Amino acid sequence: MLPGELLVTKTKKDRIYPDFVQIDEEHLELAEDIIGVYRNFVGKKKSELDEIFEEFEEGLNFKLVRGLRTLLERRCVFESRFVIEPILARRAVFEEASNKRITNERERRRVIENAAKRLNISIPDLEDSLWADQDSEVVLEKFEPLNPEELLKLYNLSLAQTLLFKSIGMTVSFKGNYKEVFRTIKYLGLMYMPEGEKVRIEGASSLLKMNEKYGTSLAKLLPIIVNCDEWCMDAEIVIRRMNAPRIYHFIMDSGSRGLLMSKEREDKILFDSGVEERFYNKFLSSPASKGWDLIREPEAIFTSKGVFIPDFKFKHKELNIETYFEIVGFWTEDYIKRKLSKLRAFPFDILVAADKNLACFNLNPNFDLGLNHVILFNRDVPIGEVVRYLRGVEEKEIERQIKGLKGREIELEGDIISIGDIAKRYDVSREAIRECLNNPDYVVFKEVVVRKEILSKLKESLLKLNYYGEARKTIEEAGLSNPDEVLNKLGFKIIWKGLDPSAATIELS
């Protein structure tokens, strides 16, 4: 994509088109020259590049040259070169010059010399460091080139994306690449509705006011559409002329493939909003995430109401359960009603979080989403409410498992048995096993089941000991890795004498 001021378009009646460059000898030569400048100027300052391109733009289409430069500079690495941090260098010079009136080069030189001496660096190193962090002084360290044809095609694609900044919606038909297109639509937070073989992507005009940020999301979808086998797009573009908006149609199809970059795609979009990203990071850092996998790219769900790709899927790491989570982005009452119709067609429950400050609630504060599991939030999704929902899903499944185990004898063999191994054998959770184990010959711990006979012998050994450290060692040698839990089960208490574990003793409660 390009800055809006570099967009070049043509209009005809109610149609608007980007002014694509042709992949011809003239433009290929220009692209090769510009690429060559960057390739040859590695190691030189950005100000030197700017001087070269000032001459380049004379007599040429300066918007085209600047557009190509913009794309190439995204493939550059510029770095500051300095011996001492520029801020520190400037501070030392300003402090040295304070309360002094500098009127000539000799006085300036003396200030620089004194500052360099204070910093223990040479005068040239100080001069080079002073303004090394300014944009004109950064140095081109690395350039990742591409060939002239790729650059021109990338420029054309970027022009089309820039025009879509002003899009308020589009209708797209395509073949192939379905999963990636729908996934990207969802990741970008776009409102969409399947219409037969086409997909209607609704834009900001259906909100309370037009939103160019939404058009930017539409633009980010374009490279994915271009990579489909066949495609056709009809986008509505709002152009303001004399303060009066007018809607044009931007129509483009796979016949333009030869002019557009289709091999190189932008980095995969992980989140379509800051709300989703913050939720994802907070959930993964919370204790609740230990029991669940949070999947950002769930599969598409097809229902009688159309295709749906939820924002997230929770999959339990132990229980054979999963549930979906949808964070509602841009929406209106009409749009959410259609979406709710699709959600109600699911054969399972889905958790929905909706921002109570969005358009629908502003228009109708009593609007009812009509779903069983809804969280209303202000700016951020409350992790606690999501965790409570997940815990409810867990408990419901555990109750089902316990009900299935009731009346069944759980076979136990051995002196110390892992509850996890038993759970795998019966294909249930460890919580269900702990709840249903009632063998009189065994004692149930958090992670293991231990024969009472073993514990009786262990207790006899512990009664002969005084110190906590000795007790821990004895318990661990018996094959148990949870000494404190064992001591508690056997009726011992730990008496601490300071922070040193070796000084702690044990005694029967």
| pLDDT of 204 | 45
CA distance 198 to 204: 19
Residue 145 phi, psi (nearest 5): -75, 165
Q: pLDDT tier at 304 (50, 70, 90 boundaries)?
A: low
Give the pair of three-digit tokens for residue 244. 């009066």
Mean pLDDT of 432-441: 91
Please list, residue by residue across 304-317, b when 16 or more beta carbons sit within 10 angstroms of its beta carbon and e when fewer do. Answer: ebbbbbbbbbbebe
**Are 282 and 383 a contacting pair, CB within 8 Å?**
yes
pLDDT band at 266 (very low <50, low <70, confident <90, very high): very low
Please compute the mean of the pLDDT values over residues 341-348 and round it to a whole number: 74
pLDDT on residue 71: 92
**pLDDT tier at 452, thresholds 50, 70, 90:** very high
State how far the alpha carbon of 53 is from the alpha carbons of 2, 229, 340, 439, in Å. 18, 39, 55, 84
Higher confidence at residue 218 or residue 469?
A: 469
Q: How confident is the model at residue 270 (pLDDT cuts 50, 70, 90)?
A: low
Give me 440's structure tokens: 């009189």
Beta-strand ranges (E) seen in 128-217 are 139-143, 167-175, 191-195, 198-202
User: Would you call 507 exposed, middle or buried from its count of C-beta atoms within 10 A (0-12, 13-18, 19+)?
Assistant: exposed
H helix count then E strand count, the chain: 18, 21
**How far apart, in Å, are the Cα atoms of 76 and each of 2, 141, 273, 356, 451?**
16, 8, 27, 43, 68
What average pLDDT does range 181-207 have in this prediction? Answer: 73
Residue 3 has pLDDT above 80, yes or no: yes
Indicate whether 360 pLDDT > 60.
no
Which of 64-68, 118-122, 259-263 shows the lowest per-residue confidence on average (mean pLDDT)?
A: 259-263
Q: Which residues of 190-209 are buried (b: 16+ CB within 10 A; e: fewer)?
A: bbbbeeeeebebbbbbbbee
The sign one gets for the Cα dihedral 286, 381, 375, 182 is: negative
pLDDT at 214 over 80: no
**Choice between 44 and 151, residue whose per-residue pLDDT is larger:** 151
Asked if pLDDT for residue 244 goes beyond 90, the answer is no
pTM: 0.52
pLDDT at 252: 94
CB 139 within 8 A of CB 44: yes
Lowest mean pLDDT among 32-36, 129-133, 201-205: 201-205
Q: What is the pLDDT of residues 367-410, one digit of tens each?
A: 566 667 888 888 889 999 999 999 999 999 999 999 999 878 89
Q: Is the pLDDT of residue 208 over 70?
A: no
Contact 374, 352 (CB under 8 A): yes
455-478 pLDDT, tens digit per residue, is 999 999 999 999 999 999 999 999
Collapsing DSSP to helix, strand or coil, 355 comes out as: strand
Comparing C-alpha atoms, which of 143, 191, 111 is closest to residue 42?
143
DSSP 3-state assignment of 107? Answer: helix
Lowest mean pLDDT among 91-100, 312-321, 438-447: 91-100
Q: Which ranges in 200-273 belong to alpha helices (H)?
A: 212-226
Give the chain's mean pLDDT: 83
**Sign, CA torsion 333/336/338/344:** negative
